[in-house]
């Protein structure tokens, strides 16, 4: 019985190319009580592997958070499979605005303590007592009101390349950092202001809206389906698009363009750019914004040191990495002293 991915990214790419089928990238989430997350996880893997589903999904006792890709001709089969699970029946699937057959190259379903790490240890907090969901049209109307404060519940490297007009964009690395910071900043407006929140697909602001209601905020709203669903509705209903720039996504695409505005700069030269990349030095792998000119000059690296390393032979690079665990360093998101034009 196969319960884990066994193919490398390159092997999977070759299979996708050979199959010659268009794939669809989508995301979904649901807060629900899952009695045995590990058993549920294993069942999902067996069912999804049959449908050639790839992607990253987290399962916890509080619910599920999925970001996956699958062959377009298997989409209805995937819906039917989800509908066999009571709390996932007729769940909204957020279809990506831009498609890429290689957005995901492995199927990873992981059991976590929580589907969104919040750092909370409060047994009285009920994530199901959320704020009011609003659609794109309602969001635009509330956004324009003078008694509204709009907050981006994403991290700094996400909001840097795109956000809603007038939004507060916390300079945080993780979701758990944002909750106490926002509460402290907005505490005087608990009763007098509308608190309007958004994130990529809705999962973070769903938990955040419940948290702020728990903390006594009275008028709490969240953008249903997040930026992904907002973009779909704006296009379908011909609404005014109030999102500027790109929407950061957690797959190989790294972002989707929502408007033609470029609101960020290359972290190396300061010229307008909103293209995220990872440093080509695998012992670094720093995520940062890099324009095409700097990419060419630096061989897709973040510093002269990393450029020197990537021009060594593979054997020499492996030798350098011996005994040097990369850990957190490998997954830093856009913060490093080598990035001259990035706020640290």
Cβ atoms within 10 A of the Cβ of 271, count?
A: 13
Active site residue 269: no
Q: How confident is the model at residue 330 (pLDDT cuts 50, 70, 90)?
A: very low
Burial annotation 100-130 (CB, 10 A radius, 16+ → b, else e) = ebbbbbebebebeebbbebeeeeeeeebeeb
Q: How far apart are CA 132 and CA 144, in angstroms?
A: 17
**Alpha helix stretches (DSSP H) within 247-287:** none
**Residues 6 or more apart whose Cβ sits within 8 Å of residue 126:** 210, 214
pLDDT surpassing 50 at residue 280: yes
Cβ atoms within 10 A of the Cβ of 341, count?
A: 15
The residue annotated as part of the active site, out of 199, 291, 294, 302, is 199
Between these two residues, 333 and 27, which has the higher pLDDT value?
27
Q: How far apart are CA 226 and CA 128, in angstroms?
A: 17
Helix (H) or strand (E) holding 330: helix 327-330
Rounded average pLDDT over 263-287? 94
**Residues 6 or more apart whose Cβ sits within 8 Å of residue 106:** 5, 7, 9, 12, 54
What is the number of residues in the chain?
344
With CA atoms as reference, report the closest residue to 234 among 97, 67, 93, 30.
Answer: 97
pLDDT value of residue 328:
41
Q: How far apart are CA 5 and CA 2, in angstroms?
A: 8
Percent of the chain with pLDDT over 70: 97
Between 76-85, 234-243, 280-289, 331-340, the lowest mean confidence (pLDDT) is in 331-340
Residue 344 tokens read as: 């640290």
Average pLDDT, the chain: 92
pLDDT value of residue 267:
97
SS3 at position 315: helix
Rounded average pLDDT over 190-218? 93
**Residues 6 or more apart whose Cβ sits within 8 Å of residue 197:** 131, 150, 151, 152, 153, 205, 208, 209, 212, 220, 221, 222, 223
pLDDT surpassing 90 at residue 93: yes
pLDDT value of residue 327:
44
pLDDT value of residue 325:
58
Domains identified in the chain and CATH numbers: 9-111 (3.30.70.100), 132-237 (3.40.250.10), 264-344 (no CATH)
pLDDT surpassing 80 at residue 122: no
pLDDT value of residue 128:
82
Q: How far apart are CA 129 and CA 206, in angstroms?
A: 9
With CA atoms as reference, report the closest residue to 289 among 334, 255, 256, 244.
Answer: 334
Cβ atoms within 10 A of the Cβ of 36, count?
A: 12
């Amino acid at each position: 019985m196969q319960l884990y991915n066994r193919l490398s990214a390159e092997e999977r790419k070759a299979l996708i190319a050979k199959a010659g089928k268009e794939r669809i990238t989508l995301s979904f989430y649901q807060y629900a009580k899952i009695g045995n997350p590990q058993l549920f996880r294993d069942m999902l893997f067996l069912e999804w592997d049959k449908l050639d589903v790839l992607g990253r999904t987290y399962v916890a006792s509080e619910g599920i958070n999925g970001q996956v890709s699958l062959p377009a001709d298997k989409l209805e089969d995937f819906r039917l499979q989800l509908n066999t699970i009571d709390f996932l029946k007729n769940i909204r699937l957020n279809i990506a605005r831009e498609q890429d057959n290689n957005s995901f190259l492995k199927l990873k379903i992981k059991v976590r303590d929580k589907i969104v790490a919040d750092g909370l240890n409060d047994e009285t907090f009920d994530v199901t007592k959320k704020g009011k969901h609003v659609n794109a049209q309602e969001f635009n109307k509330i956004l324009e009101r003078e008694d509204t404060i709009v907050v981006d519940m994403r991290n700094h490297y996400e909001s840097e390349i795109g956000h809603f007009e007038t939004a507060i964009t916390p300079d945080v690395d993780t979701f758990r950092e944002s909750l106490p910071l926002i509460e402290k900043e907005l505490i005087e407006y608990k009763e007098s202001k509308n608190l309007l929140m958004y994130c990529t697909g809705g999962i973070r602001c769903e938990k955040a809206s419940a948290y702020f209601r728990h903390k006594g905020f009275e008028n709490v709203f969240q953008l249903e389906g997040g930026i992904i669903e907002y973009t779909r509705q704006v296009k379908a209903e011909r609404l005014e698009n109030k999102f500027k720039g790109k929407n950061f996504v957690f797959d190989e695409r790294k972002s989707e363009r929502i408007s033609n505005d470029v609101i960020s700069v290359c972290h190396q030269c300061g010229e307008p750019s909103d293209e995220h990349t990872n440093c080509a030095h695998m012992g670094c792998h720093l995520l940062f914004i890099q324009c095409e000119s700097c990419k060419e000059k630096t061989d897709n690296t973040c510093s002269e040191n990393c450029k020197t390393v990537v021009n060594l032979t593979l054997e020499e690079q492996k030798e350098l990495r011996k005994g040097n665990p990369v850990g957190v360093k490998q997954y830093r998101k856009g913060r490093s002293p080598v990035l001259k034009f990035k706020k640290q």
